[in-house]
Amino acid sequence: MKKLRAMITLTAMVLAATGLAGCQSKESTGETEKSPAVSTTPSATAAELEPVKLKWVLRIPAQKDGEKVLTEVNKILKEKINATLDIQWIDAASYIEKTKLMIAAGENFDIMFTAPGYQFYENVAQGAFLPMDELVTEYAPQAYGQIPVEFWDAMKVNNKIYGFPNYQIAARQTTITMRKDMAEKYDIDVAAIKQLEDLEPALAKMQAGEGSDKFILAGPGINQMDIMNYLKMETLGGEGTPGAIELEGTDYKVVNQYEQPVFINYVKTIKSWADKGYINKDLSLAKNFEELSKNGKILSMLGQYKPGGEAEVLARYGFEPVYAFLTEPLVSTSSVTGTMQAISRTSKNPERAMMFLELINTDKQLYNMLVYGIEGTHYKKTGDNSVELIADSGYAPNVSWMLGDQLNAYLLPGVEADTPQKIDELNKSAKTSRIMGFSFDAEPVKSEIAQTKTIIDKYAIGLGYGMYDVDSTLATMNKELKAAGMDKIIAEKQKQLDAWVAINKK
């Protein structure tokens, strides 16, 4: 419906009329600059809009009661923007490959969850997503104005916005997340763990007492953002692609992160721990991470911290956590782009898709229905802004961070009432990356990136789980990366970064 371009956003009118426009995250008194306000004068009603059906692709396993929840969601959408929603549920393990096939086939869909680790930059380079600068200011003015300006800058590739951020914790603080009962049982002082080497005595205690069938430490990787943060490096572009800079450096030299001493030492540490039995090498057991954890098989894992995260860990992984903090909080382009929505180039209704994104980021009732399901069936209210999940209810995505402005989510048991405000404040008080706002345009080297990603994927899991000899494997991997065009990628990243620095660091 291209004629919608001439109409002012329907959702602004609806939200103003219903009083649903408030967003907890913006109640903070932080000084972070917000996006420019967009003035609108509503001129349409739902009845005047042609009915459309939207398709949303999500990295969430199929839910037993998914259709039941969608029926209720669609009642709201029909009333507010004369649209209905269909969700394509895809489990995490299959998400990249299935969405690759969808895009390659030119399949019609409207919105897709995306992130650098899920081919965001590669898909932009291939023309899979629509630029949304005009769409977001015209059809999602309220959500646009609620999100800090620098977040929108992080969404840009070649100076155009391609992602709609799910506003959530962006200050990344690398942690060891440990089961509280394990820390208490083995008298582990997590506050004393400041670097990976400090963790080994705790791993040894748990390994000796719990047996070899457990994942004493799970989730180690070689290219995730939290690992790069710990190693004080920042990858430019998609996670794992060759080319990173030092977080605290004084120059802007782009290097191959897989050749740096800090990276080599990290992988050797993981290898030594795997040899000692702290990391389970049976990757066939690791396919369903959340199920393993809920069955008591995972005792600690590498990850990140956020205020109120304890309740989310309990709901998602089935244990009460304690944290060892390995880094200070940092906000970067990569952390801001860690969870986004994109509008597909094949969308027949991009304007209505953007209206939907406006609603799920500002309409608390709609957002929480998508997050938690139907009140009384999938959760019960325990307060004005708190809920308790109903066990085995048939709907439990446990990914509020993937579905919109997470600070609008009802609070789970154990989460303090001021958690949304604390998250917002932490985002604003955290150290900012020295290249915040720089985004890499992968178009000039998209074929080389595809080839190098295949190589990195071939070795990443084995290196991350300590299965391979480090020196020989890294030598082989780097040789193959070089043959696949690594040097060209790094040179292109350097070129674009130099141009950005020349403008932004005068």
What confidence tens digit (pLDDT) does each residue in 460-484 have? Answer: 989 998 999 999 999 999 999 999 9
Q: 234 with 334: CB under 8 angstroms?
A: yes
pLDDT band at 212 (very low <50, low <70, confident <90, very high): confident
Q: 145 with 9: CB under 8 angstroms?
A: no
Q: 298 with 290: CB under 8 angstroms?
A: no
Q: DSSP class of residue 432?
A: E
**What average pLDDT does the segment 259-266 reach?**
97
What confidence tens digit (pLDDT) does each residue in 175-194 have? Answer: 999 999 999 999 999 999 99
Q: Is the dihedral of CA 366, 369, 374, 380 positive or negative?
A: negative
Q: Which amino acid is at 471?
A: D
Q: Evaluate if residue 408 carries a pLDDT over 50.
A: yes
Q: Which residues contact 77 (CB under 8 A, 6 or more apart)?
A: 83, 84, 85, 356, 359, 366
- The span from the CA of 98 to the CA of 95, in Å, is 5
Q: DSSP class of residue 91?
A: -
- The span from the CA of 386 to the CA of 453, in Å, is 42
- The CATH code belonging to domain 49-168+335-429 is 3.40.190.10
Q: 122 with 442: CB under 8 angstroms?
A: yes
- The span from the CA of 220 to the CA of 242, in Å, is 19
- What does DSSP say about strands 52-58 and 83-89: parallel, antiparallel, or unpaired? parallel
Q: 340 with 118: CB under 8 angstroms?
A: no
Q: What is the pLDDT of residue 34?
A: 53
What confidence tens digit (pLDDT) does each residue in 339-353 have? Answer: 999 999 999 999 999
- The span from the CA of 11 to the CA of 2, in Å, is 17
Q: What is the pLDDT of residue 3?
A: 43
- The span from the CA of 151 to the CA of 331, in Å, is 10
Q: Which residues contact 186 (CB under 8 A, 6 or more apart)?
A: 202, 205, 206, 209
Q: Evaluate if residue 19 carries a pLDDT over 60.
A: no
pTM: 0.75
**What average pLDDT does the segment 72-76 reach?**
98
What confidence tens digit (pLDDT) does each residue in 48-60 have? Answer: 899 999 999 999 9
Q: What is the pLDDT of residue 24?
A: 37
Q: Where are the domains of the chain?
A: 49-168+335-429
Q: Given the structure tokens 């430490």, which residue do they identify?
A: 217
Q: 82 with 50: CB under 8 angstroms?
A: yes
Q: Evaluate if residue 8 carries a pLDDT over 80.
A: no
Residue-by-residue DSSP string for 42-86: ----GGGSPPEEEEEEESSPPPTTHHHHHHHHHHHHHHHHSEEEE
Q: What is the pLDDT of residue 35?
A: 57
Q: What is the pLDDT of residue 219?
A: 72
Q: How far is CA 339 from CA 1, 154, 251, 342, in A?
A: 28, 12, 29, 10
Please classify residue 219 by burial: count the beta carbons closer than 10 Å to its beta carbon, then call 0-12 exposed, 13-18 middle and 19+ buried: buried
Q: DSSP class of residue 50?
A: P
Q: DSSP class of residue 346?
A: T
